[in-house]
Amino acid sequence: MRDIELLAPVGSFEALKAAVQNGANAVYLGGKDFSARASANNFDRNELKEAVRYAHIRGVQVFVTANTLIKQNEIYDFVEYAKFLYDIDVDAIILQDIGMARIIKKMLPDFELHASTQMVAHSLEDVKYLESVGFDRVVLAREVSVDEIKYICDNCKADIEVFVHGALCVCYSGQCLMSSMIGNRSGNRGRCAQPCRQKYELIDVHTGEVINSNGDYLLSQRDLSTIEEIDKIMDAGVHSLKIEGRMKNRNM
């Protein structure tokens, strides 16, 4: 039977222990730099070393998110950070920036690259392109249907990872600019203010009247929960089942 990975989010060392002790095959976490969850309780470099040691002793892999878009003046620091992650035996680095992926693949050819959901891979063509750049795994956009997932899995070589539980953005994965426009805080730089979780009024543009919308959180979607459909997702051929929630604590 094909092995399927359960991938858990880790926002603190406590959460790491909880994930490892409750059956995760792999965990993903962020360092203090270049992570798309800048407000999470991310790991400093010493904590990253300890996290890798703790997980590896127990047979659990560690993937590190470095999935923000990188500015020109950050390239040197990003490359140095990637080398550090490689040297402490991180199992894979999760990226959004194509340019950085090319540099890392050339510099560290055996460092496993995972394409973040921030890359918005919706189709087989997207996955094929990411394969050609050097990605070993692609995290599909959360909007992709089970039938589309199966078609992609059947026709690509890369490992496919999909979200099976947790928060959903109201926009396409990785493409929302609402936080940037409203609060000058970019989700692609790890600083999303989550404007879709705020209260809004629905107003008729013709009359200016407020429309009764049966609730105030008009843009906030319910969390994704696929537990009753998990067999279909597994049968589609995915390699990794990903739980969302690096900013959630272990008691949620």
Which residues on adjacent β-strands are paired with residue 222?
none
Q: What is the pLDDT of residues 14-46, one digit of tens each?
A: 999 999 999 999 999 998 877 655 555 689 999
pLDDT of residue 231: 95
Residue ranges making up the domain that contains 93: 5-168+222-243
- Exposure of 8 by Cβ count < 10 A (0-12 exposed, 13-18 middle, 19+ buried)? buried
**Same domain flag for 188 and 176:** yes
Based on the domain organization, do 18 and 95 belong to the same domain?
yes
Q: How far apart are CA 158 and CA 241, in angstroms?
A: 15
**Is 248 contained in some domain?**
no
**Predicted structure pTM score:** 0.88
**C-alpha to C-alpha distance for 248 and 252, rounded to whole angstroms:** 7
145 and 182 assigned to the same domain: no
What torsion, rounded to 10 degrees, do the Cα atoms 8, 118, 138, 43 define? -40
Q: Which of these, 195, 119, 219, 117, lies nearest to 163 by C-alpha position?
A: 117
Task: List beta partners, residue 240.
Answer: 5, 161
Q: Are the beta carbons of 77 and 49 closer than 8 angstroms?
A: no
Amino acid occupying residue 115: A
Please indicate, yes or no, if residue 249 is contained in any of the structural domains: no
- Asked if 126 and 212 sit in the same domain, the reply is no
Residues 236 and 130 in one domain: yes
Token pair recorded at residue 17: 């222990």
pLDDT in tens, 110-166: 999 999 988 989 999 999 999 999 999 999 998 899 999 999 999 999 999 999 998
pLDDT, tens digit, 9 for 90 and up, residues 160-185 = 999 999 887 777 766 778 888 887 88
Q: Position of tokens 């989010």?
A: 9
Structure tokens given for 197: 């979780």
Tokens of 123: 């189709």
